[in-house]
Amino acid sequence: MPTVIEAQVRTPGGKNANRRLRKAGRIPAVIYGPGKQSIVVSVDPGKVQAILHSETGRNTIFGVSVDGSEQSNAMVKDYQLDPVQGNLIHADFLEIAMDRLLELTVNIETVGEAEGVKLDGGIMDIVTRSIQVECLPSDIPESIRVDVSRLKINDYIRVKNIETDAKVRILTDPEVVIVTIVPPIKEEVPVEAAPEAAEPEVIKKGKVAEEGAEEEPKSKAPKPESKQ
């Protein structure tokens, strides 16, 4: 059975009112849809978290009933988490008609092991992890499956290469790269530096050549005698 969220109409309030609401075990939410006036409500955060953590996540279609009224179909359009504790603190629900096309985001799921990874040690780089599609609510895929088994080094798959059900129209730019196989990273071997050559010792002029030995004074040549 599809999940049903029981919502209660609330009076819009400030931070203090929302804080009291959360202490009571509920969170503020808004329900809106095409051609309909928004309704501010409170809901059980546990039910919303269960939807967000399901296989279909934000693309899950569930029933919502306001103060016991007839159920309508809805999806989680947006939500807010506490920046410190990570708890769900607010949610926006989009009321949908099952016969009206929707634009939504669907995750990419890679299938198989690429040849470039298995045989050549390449690395698979998933560049784009989700794409925009348009379809009826009943045709929303859980994910877009992309077969990467034939990819070799430097091969890639673009959005235009993806095959989907005819009921699902892809809205993302066809040239956007989904996945590519990059060459393995080669480790550079460090080159050892050559030892520095020792500089020859220079014996300065006037210093002793050997320890304990004095330099002999240079003999002066005798002056020639002058002839009378």
Concatenating the DSSP letter of every residue in 118-169 gives HTT--EEEE---EEEEEE-GGG--S-EEEE-TT--TT-EEEGGG----TT-E
Res 219 pLDDT > 60? no
The rounded distance, in Å, linking the Cα atoms of 126 and 140 is 22
Strands 102-111, 144-147: pairing is parallel
pLDDT of res. 132: 97
Two structure tokens written together for 54: 């399901």
Average pLDDT of 136-156?
95
Burial of 122 (0-12, 13-18, 19+ CB in 10 A): buried
Res 223 pLDDT > 60? no
* Residue 193 domain flag: no
pLDDT of res. 196: 64
* Residue 90 domain flag: yes
Res 210 pLDDT > 60? no
Percent of the chain's residues with pLDDT above 70: 81
Domain CATH number, residue 69? 2.40.240.10
* Residue 189 domain flag: no
Nearest CA to 176 among 191, 190, 158? 158
Q: Which amino acid is at 68?
A: G
Q: What's the number of domains the chain is made of?
A: 2
Q: What are the pLDDT digits (tens) for 183-196?
A: 998 766 666 666 66
* Residue 218 domain flag: no
Mean pLDDT score across all residues of the chain: 86
The rounded distance, in Å, linking the Cα atoms of 204 and 196 is 23
Per-residue exposure over 17-30, b if at least 16 CB sit within 10 Å of its own CB, e if not: ebeebbeeebbbbb
Domain of residue 18 covers 4-95
* Residue 149 domain flag: yes
Domain CATH number, residue 129? 2.170.120.20
Res 225 pLDDT > 70? no
DSSP symbol at 20: H
Which of 164, 182, 200 terminates a domain? The answer is: 182
pLDDT of res. 228: 43
Check whether residue 136 and residue 112 sit in a common domain: yes
Taking the alpha carbons of 101, 102, 108, 112 in that order, is the dihedral positive or negative? negative
Give 208's pLDDT tier (boundaries 50, 70, 90): very low
Secondary structure (H, E, C), 103-121: EEEEEEEEECCCHHHHCCC
Q: Which amino acid is at 167?
A: K
Least confident of 157-166, 185-194, 219-228: 219-228
* Residue 144 domain flag: yes
Two structure tokens written together for 17: 């009112």
Average pLDDT of 4-13?
90
Two structure tokens written together for 35: 């051609």
